[in-house]
Chain A
Amino acid sequence: MKFAYYPGCSAKSTCAELNVALRKVAVALDLQLTELESATCTGAREIRAIDPVGFLTLNVRILALAERDGLPLMTVCNTCTLNLIDANAIFEEDKDLARQVNLRLAEEGLEYKGTTRVTHFLWVLFEDIGAERLRELVVNPLNGLSVAAFYGCHITRPPGKYGFIDSRNNQSLEQLSELLGCKPVDYTGRTECCGFHTAAHDERIAIKLTGQHIQSAKTNGAHAMVTPCPLCHTVLDSFQKEIEKDAGKKLDMPVLHLPQLVGLALGMSHEELRLDKHVVSTDALR
């Protein structure tokens, strides 16, 4: 299976281990990835809010790059995923704006026709690889590992995009964890917000919110947390020392990127999956 691969900014910088792990796991899953080398940032929440046309153009350009290669577009970041899905929808709905954007893209010989399928690695596991095939590939079932799924926001909300009347009903990560042999943990933080999008100017919101989620996961018996989003991972892992300070207690909660959890079940080592590159030690999972 071939995909145009869009890692996003985070997996190329502060969460570089995600990119490495994803590429290792992709080989094992027989996913052939063509990275969109000249792809820009999708604009996160910032450009999206203050420059809607710039936001749309950046995203449609990424969609057009994948379309040019004739490939579906796979991401590993919740916020990038929602941005690309939203841009695809705006492009479809507003024909005038779509024409304007294509005029801009024509400057570099690109044109978007609106055919790119946007997907996330989590969805690829179910839709393109399938539960049965995945189960066959698991050589190291993670028996005894209680894992708390942390969805984040942009892969389960807004309701208009994903169809959940109550986003807490999302079960994809729990179903996946079970498939890999883990025991999913039920806790209050599952589909809550990590606060990443305000962290660059004021990290107190992220520290307070995510502190509640990690404590809830721990209270309910989680040995580790897993997230499909590098932005959530940054707060859960890289901010955990500050979170511990704010909460006044040790948490020591290892946080895995989704491909890392899959990779462990496929028999890969901690080093191969760059688990040693996290701020919170993952040694307890060995």
Chain B
Amino acid sequence: MNVQVDARSIGKAENFDGLLARNTRLNPGDPVRIRVRRFDADRPDQSGFESFVVPYDASMRVLDALNYIAEHFATDLAYRWLCGSKMCGTCAIRMNGREVLACWESVEPDMTIEPLRNLPVIRDLVVDRAPYEARVAKFEPWLERSTDYAGFPEPLSHKDMKNASKALDCISCMSCFSACPVVGLGNLTDFAGPAPLVQLAQTALDVRNDPAKVASALEHAGIFNCVSCYKCEEVCPAKIPIVTRIIEPLKAKTAELVPHAARHSMVFRAIVASRGRIDPSELVLRVQGAKVLLQVGRALRLLLRGKINPLKTLFGKNRGAADAASRILDQ
């Protein structure tokens, strides 16, 4: 007997992200309690959270609450905004641990407001976008043609521009850059981060671009350090499917133009094509080569628990799966 439960979304609290839908918990005049992280490089000793209570007004946005604070309590509160309508991308902040546009997010009864992560803070909620801009500039994100095109108008289909045009929806708000756990690890890897990659995709996924130019940008993007966690997609106010429509097509482009940078994925594919399934030992051995010797300790631990099996790696193969995979992938 089936129980009528949608287990995929147990705990889902919101159906719509529209202001009116989300503001139903508050009535005009209700107190909105806000903790704002303050920071001033000239007075670092006074950094920390400051609390305010703002009266709720119909359809109140986080930006309205910040404006209220700046007008009534803290005239020196630093925050950015320009258009107020989800176009300029300057007002992104973190509300209760999640990246949102202040101009597009309804207030919550209790809010902690912080600046974006992964960028230096200039003052209060204002971050320095220079590291992002420098990374984008290095990609030289413009179109170049190695050859003249044959005539005008040049044929260009919707299908050709499917992914590049998604990237053009970006408002450079940096929400994804702040949400990305790999960017959060600092200089551990050369991963450019979602926001610069979206900028790169605008031209790298444009079929008219010079492949050599695209290749040199992709070679230094560190794109295979993306962990595919979808945190960028979750916070993107422009609703760009960053993983599936930006990062994965860029990975495919890398495999095509700079195969050595895509080695791990290509080895993975080759193993599945010959075995039908992945043998983790073979994958690690082939991807890491001699470096695998550094992992002898773990290998022994796994061997002891029966988690890896050299005999299976050498001789084990599921014939049905292997045949099907080679038929599908080897063509």
Contact = CB atoms under 8 A, between A and B. Distances in A.
A51 B288 CA distance: 22
Given A38-B318, A38-B324, A200 B283 contact: yes
A218 to B, nearest CB: 19
B185 A208 contact: yes
A39 B321 CA distance: 5
Q: Which residue, of B8, B224, B234, B279, has the highest number of chain A Cβ atoms within 10 A?
A: B8
A265 B72 CA distance: 56
Q: Most chain-B Cβ atoms within 10 A of its Cβ — which of A10, A153, A154, A241?
A: A153
Contacts of A43: 269, 272
A61 interface: yes
B327 interface: yes
A239 B329 CA distance: 31
Interface in A122-136: 122-132
Contacts of A61: 324, 328
B287 A200 contact: yes
A162 B302 contact: no
A21 interface: no
B185 A170 contact: no
B266 interface: yes
B3 A128 contact: yes
A37 interface: yes
- The listed residue with most B CB atoms (<10 A of its CB), out of A39, A165, A196, is A165
A14 B328 contact: no
Contacts of B84: none
B216 interface: no
A121 B7 CA distance: 10
Interface in B180-219: 181-182, 185, 188-189
B5 A50 contact: no
Contacts of A200: 264, 268, 280, 283-284, 287-288
A125 B234 CA distance: 26
Contact of A47 (B268, B283, B287): B268
A15 interface: yes
Contacts of A153: 227-231
Interface stretch (B45-53, B115-123, B145-153, B248-256): B248-256
B327 A107 contact: yes
A229 B309 CA distance: 21
A13 B241 contact: no
B320 interface: yes
A160 interface: yes
Nearest to B10: A172
Contacts of A131: 3, 5
A32 to B, nearest CB: 15
A272 interface: no
Interface residues of B, number: 76
Interface in A19-48: 37-41, 43-48
Interface string A104-141: 10011000000000000011111111111000000000
Interface string A230-246: 00000000110110000
Tell me which of B233, B234, B284, B328 has the highest count of chain A C-beta atoms within 10 A of its own C-beta.
B328
A160 B14 CA distance: 14
B199 to A, nearest CB: 19
B276 interface: yes
A125 B305 contact: no
A279 B189 CA distance: 28
Contacts of B277: 9, 12-13, 40-41
Interface in B273-331: 276-280, 283-284, 287-288, 297-298, 301-302, 305-309, 312, 318, 320-321, 323-325, 327-329
Contacts of A48: 248
A171 interface: yes
Nearest to A54: B329
B301 A123 contact: no
Interface string B213-246: 0000000000011111111011000000101100
Given A40-B277, A128-B3, A166 B307 contact: no
A158 B241 contact: yes
A12 B97 CA distance: 37
Interface string B12-40: 11110100000000000000000000000
B228 A201 contact: no
A169 B252 CA distance: 33
B10 A205 contact: no
B9 interface: yes
Contacts of B226: 197-198
A177 B243 CA distance: 31
Given A14-B308, A126-B10, A128-B3, A195 B255 contact: no
Top 6 A-B pairs ranked by shortest CB distance? A38-B320, A171-B11, A130-B3, A193-B229, A126-B7, A123-B7
Interface of B: 1-3, 5-15, 17, 97-98, 181-182, 185, 188-189, 224-231, 233-234, 241, 243-244, 247-248, 251-252, 255, 262-266, 268-269, 272, 276-280, 283-284, 287-288, 297-298, 301-302, 305-309, 312, 318, 320-321, 323-325, 327-329
Interface of A: 9-10, 12-16, 37-41, 43-52, 54, 57-58, 61, 86, 104, 107-108, 122-132, 153-154, 157-172, 174-175, 192-193, 195-198, 200-202, 204-205, 208-209, 238-239, 241-242, 277-279
Given A58-B272, A205-B189, A277-B306, 14 more contacts: A13-B280, A13-B309, A15-B307, A38-B321, A40-B325, A41-B321, A166-B234, A175-B11, A198-B226, A200-B280, A205-B225, A238-B307, A241-B297, A278-B305
